[in-house]
Amino acid sequence: MSPAGVPEANALALSLEDLAAVREAVECGSGEPLASEHLRPLFEGQVHGHDQALPLVGRAQDVDEELGPYLSGGNEPDRCPGGRSRHLAEPADSAHVTESLLVVLKRSAGVCLKPRGVQSASTKPVVVHELSCAGHARRSMSMHKLPCRHFAPLVLLLIGSTAARAESRAADVIVYGATPGGFSAAIAAAREGASVILLEPTAHVGGLSTGGLSHCDSNQMVRATLMGLFHEWHTRIVKDYADRGRPPPYNPAIKDQARWTFEPHVALRVTNAMLDEAGVQVLTDHDLQSVTKDGSRIVSLVTKRGAFTARVYVDGSYEGDLMAAAGVDWTIGREAREDYGESLAGRRYPKPAMDIDGFDDAGRPLPLVTAQDRGDDAAGDANLMAYSFRLCLTTDPRNRVPMTLPTHYDPARFEIVRRYLEAGGDPNQIGLDLYGLPGRKVDGNNSIGRQFSIGLVGGGTDWHAAAEAEREKIWEAHKQYTLEFIHFLTHDPAVPEPIREKYAALGLCRDEFAGSAHFPPALYVRESRRLRGLYVISQKDIMHEPQKDDPIAISSFPIDSHDCRRVAVEGGGVVDEGTIFPVRKGRGQGYAYHVPYRAVLPQPAQCDNLLVPVALSCTHVGMSSLRIEGAWMVIGQGAGVAAALAAKENVAVHDVNYPRLRDRLLAQGAVLDLPVAGE
């Protein structure tokens, strides 16, 4: 066995001619875009007479997400009869295609990537074959004529085995959840010298930052405080465009309130590259099953694919799944106003009530109504702000894929919207928020200000407690609602024709999310469980007492909550409840405040080797500000550095020396001093 645990086996060389054979075979046939079903023969050994299968079980999405943007974006005529060639956009793209191909191979079953000339240090030498560039030295735009210089330093070891991919089961630090907070924690810990495994329960890496949220909300934050990995990530996104000769979509060096926008596949490529360069082992489709503890220490966690051990664990999930399994205190829902003295807590009704009947002829609440009682305005409850998707859409006919039709569309589901319009409601109060992106695309978001949008109010209430299969059903329910809502917008005669035409012009993007039929793979979980840790961030910490003695990050997004309920009252109309319209300090920005280290720490008697940077310790009002990807990235970086220090020094996370932690965070580029008033 090699040091990495990869079994010795016959190696299989794949030359560029092999890639050419696959490309030409599919392009001279149907002319359809290259997708996983076309590329899979490459991994199954069905090219150039190779008969040794390389299974790609569960990895089709990696192929599509990594290579889809390059192999399905072009549309120039080809010499192949009856087909259209899928070319790279330009020669400079070749380096990125190479990088993406290597990511796919590295993450596939039985694949190992090694530097040129390096062999296993243990038993017999491993047979290696370089990707051949013979006869393809000239620069060209088609994939099978990529410049040799991009392949020369690389050696691929392709193990012809049906066994599962060999993987490390122990590390200094294990991060569960490849969200922005999770992958930032993993990268930060690895850069401090820790060995790191990043476990993701789904097939998607990057959470919303690579899953459709492509309009960076940092335009409402104090960007000068968002440095470290956040700044590097954005700098590399812009460099990705510049390296391909594309106009930079923004300038991350200018810390103003301009919109920063990018395409999802670019964000995914940058994220994977940073994880790979840091040496983080990324394992997807590892849904958490259980946790084993010895007293207050986590000894191991078990996913559906096996057990993993570490000195320190980081819960990077949106849902706080690892902390819940570890038995630490957590909460969910909304606090009462008196619990933490928060004026923004409890039930909230900032939107005008709709003067319509919310009940059918039998007295039952209409579909999309979630409650029939306003209740005590000052009380708390278990409700959460609406979940939704961030859709990547386009009107570009060269890249537009028709919107997927919903299954079993029922127009009666939108009777409440129809009644609102028929009663003279503003048609602009139904629809999506659309933000322009590079590549003639838009980011479609649930609209916080509209009465009806793509957020499924009440749909995420049980998400946190659901097992994997049940979460898949909830995910599908959100997708179904999204597709039905768009179908209603584009087809129902109650919707004014200009609005129908506006949304009908939009389609999904052919070069995004090919592994999920171009629909975003990540559900926008705006909030879920929240840790009850050593410190609870509440409204006063954001607006009145921002300074803390142990900061690991600075957050500054406005306090901002989407709808939590839709209430129909007998004889009293219908009203959306739970909205907190953005609470800002001024100049379009939220309040800048410290995120203390204590807010990511459980009670020490409950667990002393766990950090929680995403589902961190705060109130619902606090999460309404903290729940943004930019904030989670810098908080995750803080938790990752702390995890590496705790592992290196073999101490409880509560005993990490804060001055040492601060020094290491500053060395990684973090900003920990609050901006001076007026900056």
pLDDT tens digits, 399-449: 999 999 999 999 999 999 999 999 999 999 999 999 999 999 999 999 999
Residue-level pLDDT at 103? 54
Residue-level pLDDT at 113? 30
DSSP bridge partners of 611: 314
Average pLDDT for residues 205-225, to the nearest whole number? 96
Q: Look at residue 393 and tell me whether its pLDDT is greater than 80.
A: yes
Considering the chain, what percentage of its residues have pLDDT values greater than 90?
73
Total residue length of the chain: 679
Q: What is the pTM of this model?
A: 0.80
Give me 513's structure tokens: 């999310």
Alpha carbon distance 450, 435 (integer Å): 16
SS3 at position 345: coil
Q: Measured in Å, how far apart are the chain's first and last C-alpha atoms?
A: 58
DSSP bridge partners of 76: 85
Average pLDDT for residues 376-404, to the nearest whole number? 97
Q: What is the pLDDT of residues 91-142, one digit of tens each?
A: 334 445 555 555 555 444 333 332 223 333 332 222 222 222 222 222 222 2
SS3 at position 50: coil
Residue-level pLDDT at 519? 98
Q: Look at residue 155 and tell me whether its pLDDT is greater than 90.
A: no
Give me 417's structure tokens: 């919207």
Alpha carbon distance 246, 240 (integer Å): 9
DSSP 334: B
Give me 142's structure tokens: 């088609």
Q: What is the pLDDT of the chain when averaged over all its residues?
A: 82
Scanning 459-607, the segments in alpha helix (DSSP H) are 468-491, 497-504, 539-543
Residue-level pLDDT at 99? 54
Q: Look at residue 15 and tell me whether its pLDDT is greater than 60.
A: no
Q: What is the pLDDT of residues 573-605, one digit of tens each?
A: 999 999 999 999 988 899 999 999 999 999 999
Residue-level pLDDT at 321? 98
Alpha carbon distance 521, 444 (integer Å): 14
- Which domains does the chain possess? 16-158 (no CATH), 170-332+529-557+584-667 (3.50.50.60)
Residue-level pLDDT at 255? 96
Long-range contacts from 410-415, C-beta under 8 angstroms, 24+ separation: 410/484, 411/488, 411/492, 412/367, 413/367, 413/368, 413/484, 414/367, 414/368, 414/484, 414/485, 414/488, 414/492, 415/360, 415/366, 415/367
Q: Look at residue 2 and tell me whether its pLDDT is greater than 60.
A: no
Residue-level pLDDT at 496? 98
Considering the chain, what percentage of its residues have pLDDT values greater than 70?
75
Alpha carbon distance 65, 234 (integer Å): 20
Alpha carbon distance 679, 676 (integer Å): 6
Residue-level pLDDT at 572? 80
Q: What is the pLDDT of residues 610-666, one digit of tens each?
A: 999 999 999 999 999 999 999 999 999 999 999 999 999 999 999 999 999 999 999
Confidence of residue 677 (pLDDT cuts 50, 70, 90): confident
